Amino acid sequence: MTTSKTELQKTSQTPPATTEQAERGADTRALLPRVDVFEDDAGITLLADLPGVPRDQLDIKIDGDTLTIEGAVATTTPAGLQPAYVELRVPRYRRAFTLSRELDAGHIEANLKDGVLNLRIPKQAHAQPRRVNVQVG
């Protein structure tokens, strides 16, 4: 992960499931998606790898200064069939970041294409560089 100087910080991850949760089948563990973060003068772009996650299973939340990305891989089972034996659990992805006050969380744009989530988070107007005109005379 490439992180910006002060723009975005990784926060704690989802804790592993307890024995009781695992026995009940309520596995709350999640995989960490690989994420790249790019910064320019106007904001940051976050690219997260979420293979197999459809739009309806993707959840992006902002709570205070925390950005959370969660998604579940969709599986297809042929109609009328039930799995008799399963070796692979359907993965869930979860990643959380702390947003800088310089970022405008109210204007985030999100796009999911080919298993890659593209989030564009602009900087607040006061945090963007501006040009000062100089008058002669």
136 in any annotated domain: no
CATH number for the domain spanning 100: value is: 2.60.40.790
Cβ of 26: how many Cβ atoms within 10 Å?
10
134 in any annotated domain: no
In this prediction, residue 38 carries a pLDDT of 96
> Domain residues for 42?
8-75+85-126
Among the residues of 1-137, which ranges form H helices?
19-24
- For the chain, 137 residues long, give each residue's pLDDT as a single digit of tens: 444 443 455 544 444 443 333 333 445 688 999 999 999 989 999 999 999 999 999 999 999 999 999 999 987 778 888 878 877 777 899 999 999 999 999 999 999 999 999 999 999 877 777 778 888 87
Contact (Cβ atoms closer than 8 angstroms) between residue 11 and residue 26: no
- List 94's β-bridge partners, or say none: 70
Domain count, the chain: 1
Contact (Cβ atoms closer than 8 angstroms) between residue 118 and residue 37: no
Amino acid making up residue 125: A
Contact (Cβ atoms closer than 8 angstroms) between residue 1 and residue 44: no
